[in-house]
């Protein structure tokens, strides 16, 4: 089964696939091993910054290595690639999933650029995600209060037009979610997700970005109305860096890198497992 098949299965069976970001090979391994332990698929994403750090070809090689080593499906996504050029770079490198995010552009430019990537990707038989609506914040612990404005939110009718005009396989939406862990509790607009789900053809998966910091109850409610893929980054970044900081301060004389960073890998694995269980992704292969 390819990624689109898994997303269809998730929607039909009322669970969600997890998408987890990585910029280090250790995080990559932690995510893949967590998926293996829970008998499910792994979707690993690199933003433009993360891909630049890890290397596009290294990310592809890691995906192939973990497919071979663990015998599970590992999909590699170009998360939030913000230009046609950047998305094409990921496709050419061998990514099997593309997120072309032109949501900050005027609508017509978003449609034409996304469509260009859908056409380009056809030769490679990969899954393409577009984005509509404005998502505030960055994948970090936010130190200022972020307010989602009504005009940020995805309009169900425009969502229908967008997916029909572009031909995307997945749609990232703005429904009260933000990137990063916010100071106050986010409030997802569940009714809006439901309306978008009704407006958009069933073979297009709805994606919830900004999964860190959203209470479990709201995550479950979002899945119940049709979210089939949830992105987590900040929780991974926090788990990894906090564990590293602790190891370095506890063992200031240690010079063997793998003795210092193993707990960080385990911390990432733990959080990924918790999220996969929350999403209902366990034993879905």
Q: Which of 82, 37, 22 is nearest to 274 (CA)?
A: 37
On whether the CB atoms of residues 207 and 193 are closer than 8 A, the answer is no
Quick one: DSSP state of residue 152? G
Residues 227-256 that bind Zn ion (CB under 5 A): 231
Active site includes 79?
yes
Does 115 contact Zn ion by CB under 5 A?
no
Cα separation, 142 vs 92, in Å, equals 34
Q: Which of 238, 226, 98, 224 is nearest to 168 (CA)?
A: 98
Of positions 29, 63, 209, 237, contacts Zn ion by CB under 5 A: 209
User: How far is residue 80 from each of residues 60, 92, 131, 256, measured CA to CA in Å?
Assistant: 17, 16, 9, 35
Cα separation, 11 vs 17, in Å, equals 9
On whether the CB atoms of residues 56 and 65 are closer than 8 A, the answer is no
80/265 with CB nearer ligand G3H: 80
On whether the CB atoms of residues 216 and 278 are closer than 8 A, the answer is yes
Of positions 174, 227, 234, 238, contacts ligand G3H by CB under 6 A: 234
Binding mask 161-200 for Zn ion (x = CB under 5 A): ----------------------------------------
Cα separation, 139 vs 121, in Å, equals 27
Cα separation, 196 vs 188, in Å, equals 13
26/235 with CB nearer ligand G3H: 235
For the CB of residue 266, give the shortest distance to Zn ion in the complex, in Å: 25
Residue carrying the six token digits 């770079």? 89
Of positions 222, 232, 272, 276, contacts ligand G3H by CB under 6 A: 232
Does 79 contact ligand G3H by CB under 6 A?
yes
Does 80 contact ligand G3H by CB under 6 A?
yes
Residue carrying the six token digits 């703005």? 174
- The partner in contact with residue 139, picked from ligand G3H, Zn ion, none with C-beta cut-offs of 5 to 8 angstroms by kind, is ligand G3H
For the CB of residue 71, give the shortest distance to Zn ion in the complex, in Å: 29
Does 176 contact ligand G3H by CB under 6 A?
no
For the CB of residue 249, give the shortest distance to ligand G3H in the complex, in Å: 25
Does 139 contact ligand G3H by CB under 6 A?
yes
Does 129 contact ligand G3H by CB under 6 A?
no
On whether the CB atoms of residues 68 and 87 are closer than 8 A, the answer is no
Report the binding-site residues for Zn(2+): 80, 101, 131, 179, 209
Rule CB under 6 A: which residues touch ligand G3H?
A: 21, 79-80, 139, 179-180, 209-212, 231-235
Known catalytic residues?
A: 79
């Amino acid at each position: 089964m390819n990624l689109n098949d898994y997303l269809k299965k998730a929607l039909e069976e009322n669970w969600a696939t997890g998408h987890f970001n990585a910029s280090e090979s250790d995080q990559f391994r932690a995510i893949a091993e967590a998926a293996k332990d829970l008998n499910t698929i792994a979707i690993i994403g690199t933003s433009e910054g993360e891909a630049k750090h890890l290397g596009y070809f290294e990310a592809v090689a890691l995906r192939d290595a973990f497919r071979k080593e663990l015998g599970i499906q590992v999909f590699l996504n170009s998360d939030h690639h913000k230009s046609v050029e950047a998305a094409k770079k990921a496709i050419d490198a061998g990514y099997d999933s593309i997120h072309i995010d032109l949501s900050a552009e005027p609508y017509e430019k978003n449609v034409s650029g996304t469509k260009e990537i859908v056409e380009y990707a056809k030769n490679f038989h990969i899954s393409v995600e577009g984005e509509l609506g404005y998502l505030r914040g960055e994948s970090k612990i936010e130190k200022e209060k972020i307010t989602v404005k009504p005009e940020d939110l995805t309009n169900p009718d425009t969502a229908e037009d967008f997916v029909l005009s572009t031909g995307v396989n997945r749609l990232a939406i703005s429904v009260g979610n933000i990137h990063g862990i916010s100071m106050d509790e986010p409030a997802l607009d569940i009714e809006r997700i439901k309306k978008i789900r009704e407006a958009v053809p069933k073979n297009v998966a709805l994606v919830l970005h900004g999964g860190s910091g959203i209470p479990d109850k709201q995550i479950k409610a979002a899945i119940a109305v049709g979210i089939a893929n949830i992105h987590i980054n900040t929780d991974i970044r926090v788990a990894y860096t906090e564990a590293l900081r602790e190891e370095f301060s506890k063992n200031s004389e240690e010079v063997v890198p793998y003795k210092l960073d193993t707990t960080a890998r385990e911390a990432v694995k733990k959080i990924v497992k918790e999220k996969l269980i929350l999403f209902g992704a366990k034993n879905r292969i």
